[in-house]
Structure 1
Amino acid sequence: MTTTLAGGAVLRAARPGDEPGILACIRELAEYEREPDAVETTEADLTAALFGETPAVFAHVVERDGAVVGIAVWFLSFSTWTGRHGIYLEDLYVRADQRGHGYGQALLCRLAATAVERGFARVDWAVLDWNAPSIAFYRSLGAFPMDDWTGYRLTGDALVTTARGGAGADRV
């Protein structure tokens, strides 16, 4: 489904050929989030993840004048409590010079519509505590923080050590 937005932009599912624009948005988002050197993803990684034989990651893009100017990259989650899938929004980003046209809201509305259409229970995402503009935007849509939950992550050496059964894996 393609939706026409303000300024002649269109919102649509990502398709092969969008990888350079998606990656550019990911890099800009990392810079905004004060982690400009953290992006390891390549166009080839995006091709495999989004368009491979069994994709487990999905994306919607806003395209304007032939260029990707906004992205929503997401994957399915699952709630054992509801017994239903949900959507986990990994990245939502609209290029700075394209903000104010409603593109971010359109992307979130599309994800919410996808969840409703498919009978999913929810849409979840994380936002940095200092990102006041995004927090205000999300709250304006009726989203709320999960204050009683703290996210955890295993990566790098800790991931490898834990995979080998070390570093306290026997304490649980």
Structure 2
Amino acid sequence: RSEGAEIDFPVTGSQVGMSAGSGAARPPSDANLQPATVITVFTTRPDTIFGATFVALAPEHPLVREIVAAGGPHAAEVRAYAEAAARRLELERQQGVPNGVFAGLYATNPANGERIPVWVADYVLAGYGTGAIMGVPAHDERDRRFAEAYDLPIGDDRQPMTDDGRVRFDDSGVQVEAGRRSSVVG
């Protein structure tokens, strides 16, 4: 595993709440998941949490099986997607435009209070980190391609020093639209 941080996304009510630790968890009312369901994401860039606009699970993630078993409104589509992804090699899943399916759950980004969707995505690998990521399209090229493919917000939270259109995950810049942290230089 690469150096990084794990962030828990406990399931709370009809949303998944994101915190920098763990918390009490309850199943969402529309998914019939078991109590204490938590999505723990792995990230090498916890400082980009302000730009997270979605959460993505590997098709093999245990929560995907729970969503399917719960039989909610998205279960059949999630099942079909996970089965199709399982027939592809990990290398194939990493090439081209990432694809996915909405899981029927939401997360709340604690850094900015935004409600963000939870997806099942082929480019997220079960064997890397926790098999779940926070999607930060402004700072990761794969996340950007996924967000563009599904018309998800890019959530650029840094103003670049230059305007060359690159993904800015490693550029210097000033944090923008980040609430109390708006003046932080990173």
TM-score (norm 2): 0.30
Q: 1 or 2, which has the higher helix percentage?
A: 1
Q: Say which structure, 1 or 2, has more relative contact order (CA 8 Å, 6+ apart).
A: 2
Larger radius of gyration: 1
TM-score (norm 1): 0.32
